[in-house]
Chain A
Amino acid sequence: MSLKLVLLFSILVLPLLGSDCQVGLYPLLFDGAPITATFRADVTTGTAFDDSRTVDLEEIRRGIDKRIDSIKVFNVSLQIDSTAGTNPSTTLTGAVLINGDTLIRVNGVPISDFATERSIFDSTITGGRVFKNKGVATLIALLKQLTQGTGGLTATVHALGNASSSPLHFTIKLKLYTQVFTPKKG
């Protein structure tokens, strides 16, 4: 066997030997199960509404059977599903708070703006920015707490406000979207 042949064969074989194949080196990302807080408003006298809900944040990791390193929020959406009896031109002024911190504040926003699910971070919402950094920071802190804790974790979501007309018949849905990260290897 000639030296040239040995070299040629080695060139073809050695790359396979040196493949250095590493699998799962970087953390896997999962989309957490969306968490929804739903508020039903049926106000026949007056224009104010005020309601609170407790949501179970544990739901985020439902269905993920892997070790979790961290959970991060990447979107929060709002939908106002108006039902029969509400004037279509009704506008809302109010807020959504999470554990007492304001997450959303709207001022004279038509309910039709949120007829379909819409991100609260959408910059084209009538009247401009509706989210508040304080509430976002509270959400982020809660998710960090959820990752570190072993027991259940809940959050209180409070929706309140005034409408421009009555009666009011609508459902407010606030939805939290997260990404769940597995630990880094090594």
Chain B
Amino acid sequence: MKLPARAFIALSSILFAALATAPTARAQSELEDAVKQFTSDNARGYLQPLITAVGANFNSGFYSTAAIGDMGLHIQLQLVGIGTLIGDAEKTFQAVPPQPYPQNAVQTATVFGGVGTVVPGPAPGLEYHFQNGQVKTSIFPVAVPQLTVGNIFGTQAAIRYVPIPSIGSFPKTTLFGIGVRHSISRYIPEIPVDLSAGIFYDKVTIGDIIDAHGFGFGGQASKSFSLVTVYGGLQYETSSLTASYTYTGPGPANNTHISVDIDGENKFRATAGVNLDLMILHLNGDINLGKVTVVSAGVGFGL
């Protein structure tokens, strides 16, 4: 069986168009409403897998080769689709119900989970229901355009910028990312593989209540075989999200401002991928293994 390159392009275009619009847009109003119902401790557990997924996504897809020319024009516009796999571990967390319910932790749904746990109360018909999950998915995807420019003394820069205006109940969202990579193999003559090192930063603002940051640095290696390049890398990374909102629930905390800082749990990853160069068309896909598993695929045009 042989699948023509055009089929890949069509497939990728449909995929990226779908990823760029639907799921995250529809999620927003429900997500913000759900978050506002939590006091800070439970908000942390409820949102943790989302923060980890957002951070892992935005720390992905910055490169598809370690080969960086010393001097000369390199420009590539790419659409990168990235998705963090959502497993069972990302669907539940331990939460404590409010008084007068027993102050024992119970397992309940995260934002990626199902129906929230119901804790029975001391009187018939009395119960406390934890928030239900709001995003049911096996993968949490995102798509970003990326412009890579270079090369100056073996150095390339990659820039991501996506301003999405407020549409209906979908709040204004802005993504900005920047990365710089430098060739290491230019200092090591006769080395059989290409080596590079890079540093990346992303910032995402979602509506009025969510700000997320991602940061990573690491080394990359690649080996080209005609049109095909096999690449990989090791990366240290951090991500964090600040949810800042006014709690509108019961108790003395009602109407108080809550600011919750949550760090993503993905700190280290190993990447393996394949890049296909067809003149000015570039296709790549990779898998990233860390605390969470991230897959990424890109279609790019350029020199």
Contact = CB atoms under 8 A, between A and B. Distances in A.
Contacts of B85: 15
Interface in A9-62: 9, 11-13, 15-31, 34
A8 B228 CA distance: 12
B248 A21 contact: no
A55 to B, nearest CB: 16
B127 A121 contact: no
Given A19-B137, A23-B30, A26-B114, A72 B129 contact: yes
B15 A121 contact: no
B150 interface: no
Contacts, number: 162
Contacts of B285: 8-9, 11-13
A1 interface: yes
B254 interface: yes
A16 B15 contact: yes
Interface of B, secondary structure class, is mixed
Nearest to A144: B125
B138 A19 contact: yes
A19 B83 CA distance: 9
Interface residues of B, number: 64
B295 A12 contact: yes
A5 B277 CA distance: 13
Given A12-B285, A26-B109, A122-B99, 8 more contacts: A15-B295, A19-B137, A22-B136, A25-B133, A29-B132, A72-B129, A74-B129, A121-B123
11 contacts: A5-B274, A12-B296, A13-B285, A17-B15, A21-B22, A22-B135, A23-B134, A74-B128, A121-B122, A140-B126, A179-B129
